[in-house]
Structure formats: structure tokens, C-alpha cells
Amino acid sequence: MKAAFLDRDGVINEKAPEGEYIARWEEIRFLPDAFSAVSALARAGFKIIVATNQRGVALGKVRSVDLEEIHRRMREEFSRQGIVLTGIYVCTHDYADQCSCRKPQPGLLIRAAAEHGIELPSSWMIGDATSDIEAGKRAGCRTARILIAGSREEADSRADINSPNLAAAVERILQCSSVNRSTNA
């Protein structure tokens, strides 16, 4: 069983401005092609799992109840598009907590893999930050870095794929999966 682990903000929905947090469902703006890209992954046999750091909870800028509502409604929206989110895994800790679940630590991915029978070497971590790529590598996944237009972030040499958006990343992931299937046949 393989999974596509997706970071949330900057990958499937717009990020909040620097230093701010998405605190309510009304602030969620899905990125163009997010649903079609995730649907393509699901059709290719990937379990879809969101793995997201949400430090705003630890800082008191996002209420836990509102975060739960965002994720409940996100599941509903994906379901309306015919997509099952296998899981949403969240780290609400601050940096100082030094937990094992805050990316770049791999705890969210490892826990999701254990709970859903996921083979990490067959899986991908897709994110827009160095911490996403590092978490994926530490968990043993392949990685795809989304480069947000206008950001100061540059391509990540550790990522297996660097792409301008989720749709382009998924296209490359599916090409890699197709090549791997034909070489293993």
C-alpha cells in the first residue's frame, strides 16, 4: 500500500500571509487543480494523507475546535469531489516542544503508515517547505517540492522532484511510478 502525504498550506490550499495562520474554514482557498491532482493520485492507487504542522494552535492564534472544523469540512469538500482522504495528521506543537511529530521530524508519516499499512519507500511526501522534504526523507519516502511563485524559496536539491505546483508534481510522480512498474515487471 502506497500513500501520497500532502502538506496542507501551500500545497492544496493557499498559505496565510507570513506570520499569520488560517484560523477558520472561511479562510481556506483551494489552489487551482488541487482536486484534479489529488484525484489523479487516488486513481493511481495512492492513499491520500494530509500531514500538516499547525503551530498556530500552540501560539493561541488558532483554536483547536476551529482546526477540527477546517479538517472536517476539508474532508467533506474532497468527498464531494469523489476523493477519500485516508487521514489528516496534525502537529500542533511549537518549535520549543521538540516533539517527534513536527516536520522535519517524520513522526506524522510514520504514525500514519503504521495505522494504515503504508509502505513508506513506495510513498511520496509532497510539500512546499524544506521541513516537508526532510520529514519525507527521514521517513524513507520519495519527495516532491512545490515551489510557490514569488517566494524566496529555491529548488531543493534533496527533493526527488521540484515543481511549480501540485498538478505538475503529480504528473511527474505518476511518470516515475509508471517507469518503476515497467522496470519491475
pLDDT in tens, the chain (185 residues): 999 999 999 999 999 998 899 999 999 999 999 999 999 999 999 999 999 999 999 999 999 999 999 999 999 999 999 999 999 999 999 999 999 999 999 999 999 999 999 999 999 999 999 999 999 999 999 999 998 765 556 666 789 999 999 999 999 999 987 655 544 44
- What does residue 152 show for φ and ψ, rounded to 5 degrees? -85, -5
Predicted TM-score (pTM) above 0.85: yes
Q: How far apart are CA 25 and CA 74, in angstroms?
A: 8
CA 109 from chain centre, in angstroms, equals 10
For the chain, which domains are there? 2-184 (3.40.50.1000)
CB atoms within 10 A of CB 83: 18
Out of 7, 128, 132, 160, pick the active-site residue. 7
C-alpha cell at 116: 494504515
Query: Is 9 in the active site?
Result: yes
Query: Is 97 in the active site?
Result: no
